[in-house]
Amino acid sequence: MPSPYPSVDRISQYAAIATLTQSYGRTAVMDAIRAVLAKHRADRDAFGEHPFGEPQICDAVRSWLMERSTLSLRRLFNLTGTVLHTNLGRARLSQAAIDHAIMAMGEACNLEFDLETGQRGERDSLVEALLTELTGAEAATVVNNNAAAVLLTLAGVAQKRQVVVSRGELIEIGGSFRIPDVMRSANVRLVEVGTTNRTHRSDYAQAIGPSTAALMKVHASNYVIQGFTAAVSEAEMADVAHEHGLPLIVDLGAGSLIDLSVYGLPKEPIVADIIAAGADLVTFSGDKLLGGPQAGLIVGKKALIDRINRHPLKRALRVSKLTLAALEATLMAYRYPERLTQDLPTLRLLTRPIADIEVMAKRVQPHMALALGPDWQVTIQPVFSQVGSGSLPIDVIPSMALVCTYAQKKSGSALKALTARLRQLSIPIIGRVSDNSLVLDLRCLEDEADFLAQLQSLGLKISR
């Protein structure tokens, strides 16, 4: 029996297919034709005959090619109210950081070449001077995230020995990574002292023995213990450690290079203050409060940094030229503190005046209401944003939101359908569901024009 389908070669000669070949190349187009024919055969066997002439074939091939050419990592609107959202990319980079990374991507650069001597250089030297200047540390090194920074620090200075940590600081960070697990992976033996809520100076002193390599303090950046509590300061711990000839390691988690209270935000520990208090090594993130790319930063005493850099794990955990370029430009911005809220998106979004957000909400609200139609009520309501990514866990920032509430029954299924529809837009819109409503916190919405364009693509005309 003759095939009901034209041959692959015949289909490739259709005018519309020839145009696709110019865009995608012959190999991809031929793969698409074969895939479309195979799918139609399977569908015909399951559902019976349906139209499949030249127009349908061309449309199917075009759709297949477009779907295969769509990148998985996409821009979206983060309207969740969490500024540094771990699932949505955390810190947005400054334009200077983006430009510097583009240069590193497109051009040869002195990644490991000393322009002064003409000899091979060290890649971390590109940012070390800036890090020591901004933190007061003697030396610095960089790895791919803060968990890696903690792992490498412990492996470099305490391998096969003991590190003393308060029980109240045995934290779990994102992705179920726990401090005790990281320590085991670094081949370090954990010695727990104190209790969950109270640890004293004497607890550390009594735990030190011949196998002790360091004392460690872990900043509880993603939770808070309140009530009947006691903790030992970095300065006190440094005294205890140094009395016994040991280093003090401090994991700050998010870490901040500046006093955030200057901008009306809750104050987080400042890296320079921890170094000044006597810490010998401090680890912190580059893509949280610092506002840069994902990176783990280690600053401290030069002798200890040198030991860390000699550990075999350092090469496995080192960062690429793209990270170093973006990090260098981000750190450079801190030399000009008066411009930080303009130059760094993280600070700009965290300090955005609520009055400005409310003005935007009033402009956008009627467009959202028109796009959703009469079955939805769209109101402007005060809400609270949060920093996110484990930073300032109990502190919130006043903001304004569009709250979309379904007016009919079965609001649950309607909300599910709406959130799915918003995720399917060319620039997805991501909010949060609360109290049977979709909440779109506008703190992080800066591109109003593209947002309105997305509303237009929901299907109803929106006047500008």
Whether the CB-CB separation of 147 and 298 falls below 8 Å is answered with: no
CA dihedral 86, 91, 93, 97 (to 10 degrees): -90
Domain match, 189 and 307 both: yes
Pairing of strands 432-434, 437-441: antiparallel
My answer on whether 258 and 314 are in the same domain is: yes
Bridge partners (DSSP) of residue 397 are 385
1 within some domain:
no
What's the CA dihedral at 38, 39, 43, 45 to 10 degrees?
20
**Single-letter residue type at 153:** T
Q: Give domain status of residue 322, yes or no.
A: yes
**Bridge partner residues of 191 (DSSP):** 164
**The CATH number of the domain where 358 resides is what?**
3.90.1150.110
Give the count of domains, the chain.
3
269 and 416 fall within a common domain: no
Q: Are residues 286 and 196 in the same domain?
A: yes
Number of alpha carbons in the 13 Å side-chain half-sphere of residue 168: 19
pLDDT of residue 199: 87
CA distance 421 to 430: 10
At 141 the pLDDT is 98
User: Model-level pTM?
Assistant: 0.89
**d(C-alpha 87, C-alpha 415), whole Å:** 21
Starting at the edge strand found earlier in the chain, the sheet holding 212-218 runs 139-143, 296-300, 281-285, 248-253, 212-218, 162-166, 189-193
DSSP labels for 154-223? HHHHHTTSEEEEEGGG--EEGGGEEHHHHHHHTT-EEEEES-SSB--HHHHHHH--TTEEEEEEE--TT-
Joined tokens for residue 183? 């320590």
Which parts of the chain have pLDDT scores under 70? 1-4, 45-51, 173-176, 221-224, 389-394, 459-464
Q: Do 393 and 273 share a structural domain?
A: no
- Considering the domain architecture, whether residues 302 and 364 belong to the same structural domain is answered as no
Is position 90 within any domain? Answer: no
Same domain, 396 and 249: no
Query: Would you call 432 helix, strand, or coil by DSSP?
Result: strand
Per-residue confidence (pLDDT) for residue 196, from 0 to 100? 79
C-alpha atoms less than 13 angstroms from C-alpha of 443 in its C-beta half-sphere: 31
Q: At 398, which helix (H) or strand (E)?
A: strand 391-406
Name the residue range of residue 19's domain: 8-68
